[in-house]
Amino acid sequence: MHPIAVVTGGGSGLGREMAHALAAAGFRVTVTGRTEDKLRETADSAPEEMEIAVLDVSDGAAVAGFFRTLDRIDVLVNNAGTGAPAAAVQDVAEEDWRRVVDTNLTGSFLCAQAAFALMLRQDPKGGRIINNGSISAHVPRPQAIAYTASKHAITGLTKGLELEGRPHGITACQIDIGNAATPMTSRMGQGVLQPDGSIAVEPTFDPKIVAELVVKIAQLPTDVAIPTLTVMAAGMPYAGRG
């Protein structure tokens, strides 16, 4: 029997790479996202057959309805996320703050909650939840307070899931990614704002490496936990950022 994986935010970028890698490794994959055309592009270019489901992870009723369609889930990859326009703290629009938190944090919680409940009642029970954190879960970028706060909160979410999942064979992992080369990071090549006010080009790396790591984590037995994993472009600002 093929293990079953769900990847949120699977219509492009890292989500697409993760979904493709899991499918190639023998997982039966469903990708979710808000744009059907993008999801179909992911499925049509996949190495194996893949299911799609249009889903806004910030919509609790929609998330609950989607997970009710599943008989089992072995791996949830909470990848869906968004950012806000760069803005100083005093200029951040409430609408932008709420949209980022609703997607990055609340959406991750809602999907994890529904997956957790299914993992508890399936036979055999257990599974793995992989949350896409960020280098921003550790140190901020300037003018990105909503994104930074949401990713710091993912750390607490992951730890809480790991703690409560222990008696049930449910493990949680946070993978913190820095500058994987996707459309979201294309601006790194033109230069981005640094904490000292300068603009600097930052290195990126092949997102397939992230996807390969996700597969390795997903394939681990549930008596092995990897609470956190950081993978980033060598030389990008990290220890010296903030």
Question: How many domains would you assign to the chain?
Answer: 1
- Lowest-confidence pick of 71-85, 102-116, 145-159, 224-238: 224-238
What is the pLDDT at residue 240?
67
What is the pLDDT at residue 178?
92
> To the nearest whole number, what is the mean pLDDT of the chain?
95
Rounded mean pLDDT of 34-62? 97
Band of pLDDT at residue 56, cut at 50, 70 and 90: very high
Is the residue at 242 inside a domain? no
- CATH number of the domain at 58, please: 3.40.50.720
pTM for this entry: 0.94
Does residue 26 surpass a pLDDT of 90? yes
147 noted as active-site residue: yes
CB 19 within 8 A of CB 50: yes
- Domain of residue 81 covers 4-232
Write the pLDDT tens digit of every residue in 173-211.
Answer: 999 999 988 877 778 878 889 888 899 888 999 999 999
Other C-beta atoms lying within 10 Å of the C-beta of residue 137 = 24
Rounded mean pLDDT of 62-78? 98
Is the residue at 150 inside a domain? yes
Between 192 and 146, name the one with better pLDDT: 146
Is the residue at 8 inside a domain? yes
C-alpha pair distances (Å), 23 with each of 163, 187, 191, 202, 221: 29, 30, 35, 31, 18
Rounded mean pLDDT of 67-74? 98
What is the pLDDT at residue 44?
97
Tokens 């394939």: give the residue.
219
Is the residue at 79 inside a domain? yes
Band of pLDDT at residue 242, cut at 50, 70 and 90: low
Is the residue at 71 inside a domain? yes
Rounded mean pLDDT of 30-37? 98
Is the residue at 239 inside a domain? no
Which residue among the candidates 27, 66, 147, 205 is catalytic per the annotation?
147
Is the residue at 56 inside a domain? yes
Is the residue at 214 inside a domain? yes
